[in-house]
């Protein structure tokens, strides 16, 4: 196998270019163009979100995982589903705003359904009686997206559609690509995991 020609500096430039994109459409275009290199690039970043999210959901559902319905929000290429499958989950429905990411997720043949859905501009599909799993970075450059995500979550809670199961903040989310993004002496940026469940009263 040929050596990976990518370097951390290449990944760093890619990530920093994403921070320049201002509109949702620009962001999705960026992820479309990044999709082919995404999985190998996140290895450079020591990206912990998929494993941590899977373990977080597994911790709140120790039994009957094979029966659980999981809506993987902003599923990307399916990295969270890979980890969840390893822990006994098998019923996945994914949504993402990037067609390129969805195509790669489809190639893994793990999802029962995959749907293009852009957070904040389109309604999330119903997840009857199932779990909703979401993760995002909490570093400075991602505050706008995090704010938008939390607004969607709060709206679903206020309407009585979602019930909070667990929200977990993580200090070592992935390696920072900018010195301005780190906290104290850490080389990592932080992130957050949201686990919700659709209210059974709405079923």
**Residue 102: DSSP 8-state:** H
Q: Dihedral sign, CA of 123, 104, 195, 184?
A: negative
Residue 15: inside a domain, yes or no?
Answer: no
Residue 57: inside a domain, yes or no?
Answer: yes
pLDDT tens digits along 139-174 = 887 888 888 889 989 998 999 989 999 999 998 899
Task: Name the stretches of the chain with pLDDT < 50.
Answer: 1, 202-203
Residue 8: inside a domain, yes or no?
Answer: no
Residue with tokens 């993004």: 181
d(CA 57, CA 166): 8
Which range marks the domain in which residue 168 is found?
20-202
Q: How many domains does the chain have?
A: 1
pTM of the complete model beyond 0.95: no
Q: What is the pLDDT of residue 82?
A: 96
Sheet holding 131-137, edge to edge: 111-116, 91-96, 69-73, 131-137, 188-198, 162-175
Show the tokens assigned to 22.
């201002």
Q: What is the pLDDT of residue 126?
A: 61
Q: Domain with 144 in it: what CATH number?
A: 3.40.50
Residue 7: inside a domain, yes or no?
Answer: no
Q: What is the pLDDT of residue 27?
A: 83
């Amino acid at each position: 196998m040929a050596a990976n020609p990518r370097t951390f500096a290449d990944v760093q430039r890619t990530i920093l270019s994403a921070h320049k994109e201002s509109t949702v459409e620009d962001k999705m275009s960026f992820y479309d163009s990044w999709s082919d290199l995404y999985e190998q690039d996140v290895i450079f970043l020591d990206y912990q979100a998929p494993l941590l999210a899977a373990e977080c959901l597994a911790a709140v559902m120790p039994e009957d995982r094979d029966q659980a319905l999981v809506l993987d929000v902003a599923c990307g290429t399916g990295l969270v589903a890979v980890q969840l499958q390893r822990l006994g989950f098998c019923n996945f429905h994914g949504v993402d705003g990037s067609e390129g990411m969805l195509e790669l997720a489809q190639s893994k043949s793990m999802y029962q359904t995959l749907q293009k859905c852009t957070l904040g501009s389109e309604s999330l599909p119903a997840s009857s009686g199932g779990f909703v799993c979401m993760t995002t970075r909490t570093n400075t450059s991602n505050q706008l997206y995090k704010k938008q995500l939390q607004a969607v979550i709060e709206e679903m809670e206020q309407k009585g559609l979602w019930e909070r199961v667990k929200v977990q903040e993580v200090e070592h989310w992935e390696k920072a690509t900018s010195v301005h993004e780190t906290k104290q002496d850490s080389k990592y940026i932080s992130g957050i995991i949201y686990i919700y469940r659709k209210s059974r009263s709405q079923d």
